[in-house]
Amino acid sequence: MSDNDNKIVEDKKPTEEQVKTANELEKAKWEGDYSEEDLKVPYKREEDDGDKSKDSKTDDGSATKGDAKAGDDAEKPTEAPAVEYTEPTPILTVEDPGEFKPGDYSFKVVLKDGKKTTVKTPQDAEDIAEDPENFETPAQLMDFINKQNKMNRNLERDEEKYQAQKEQFESQSAQESQRMEIVDNVAKEIQYLLDKGELPQITDPEVRRRWETDPKASLDKEFIKNPGVAEQIQLVNKIAEEREARVKAGLSPNVSAIDMWREIKSEVEAKSKENKAAGESRKAAGSRVAGTSPAAQAPYVPKGIAVGNPNVFKRDQAVWDD
For 224-280, the pLDDT digits (tens) are: 999 999 999 999 899 989 989 998 999 988 889 999 999 998 988 888 888 888 888
* Mean pLDDT value of segment 216-231: 92
What Rg do the C-alpha atoms of the chain give, in angstroms? Answer: 50
d(CA 292, CA 178): 72
d(CA 169, CA 217): 29
Q: Which amino acid is at 188?
A: K
d(CA 21, CA 23): 5
The DSSP output letter for 63 is: B
Q: What's residue 110's pLDDT?
A: 84
Q: pLDDT tens, 53-74?
A: 444 444 444 444 444 444 444 4
Q: ∠240-245-251 over CA atoms, to 5°?
A: 110
Q: pLDDT tens, 182-215?
A: 889 989 999 999 999 999 999 999 999 999 999 8
- Say what the pTM is: 0.45
Report how far apart the first and last C-alpha atoms of the chain are (Å, whole number): 31
Query: Could you give the C-alpha distances from 260 to 23, 140, 320, in angstroms and in order?
Result: 81, 75, 87
The confidence band for 300, taking pLDDT boundaries of 50, 70 and 90, is very low
Q: Residue 218 in contact with residue 233, Cβ under 8 Å?
A: yes
Q: What's residue 228's pLDDT?
A: 93
Q: What's residue 315's pLDDT?
A: 45
